[in-house]
Structure 1
């Protein structure tokens, strides 16, 4: 899916070999679903938050897969994910606090 805005996704996770790239790619794809929604749908703050909740739930579901590959969604990953979501919200001028945006997180 071609997206209109350039966002550097999960920079710190991609830089750190502790996180398998194929799993970081899955996190990135979960975030890109939100971006695609923002670019292609009419939305409200509430509908954006619901998409962010779905995204966060998908990322939560990857925890076991990270563990299975001797990795986990810990401090660096949490910050990288939060930073990327913040950049998305900023790029699309969505006024949702980052803590609220990722409120469903288990990480």
Structure 2
């Protein structure tokens, strides 16, 4: 995976985003990447089961951002969405609907 971009790029040097939470977000995305590769969903509905589970993990991470005095704001939302998009495309799902992939988000 050396060719993969740094998930949540641009957040690592910004004090508004605690390093430990950025690391947790990256772990969620890496796990999604690995799970898609392992399970090889046959179609978009099967892919969305996996992306929805990862989105729910980000929903839980939102609580930790609040506890740290932050929020999943526009910058983070965009970084998460771009990372999800990259993961889906890396696995051949270029036609996946990003809004559907992130449908259960509450951030």
Match of 1:30 in 2: 28
* Secondary structure at the counterpart of residue 15 of structure 1: coil
Q: Is the 8 A contact 2:36 2:50 kept in 1?
A: no
Identify the match of residue 20 of structure 1 among 3, 6, 18: 18
Question: What is the match of residue 45 of structure 2?
Answer: 46
Unaligned runs of 5+ in 1: none
1:105 is aligned to 2:97:
no
Q: Say if 1:5 and 1:91, in contact at 8 Å, map to a contact too.
A: no
Distance between the aligned counterparts of 1:72 and 1:58, measured in 2?
15
Which residue is 1:77 aligned to? 76
TM-score, normalisation: structure 1 = 0.88
- Quote the RMSD (CA, aligned, Å): 1.5
Structure 2 residue runs without a partner (length 5+): none
CA distance in 1: counterparts of 2:49 and 2:3, whole angstroms: 21
TM-score if structure 2 supplies the norm length?
0.88
Distance 1:71 1:39 in 2: 32
Alignment of 1:51-66 (within 5 A): 51-66=50-65
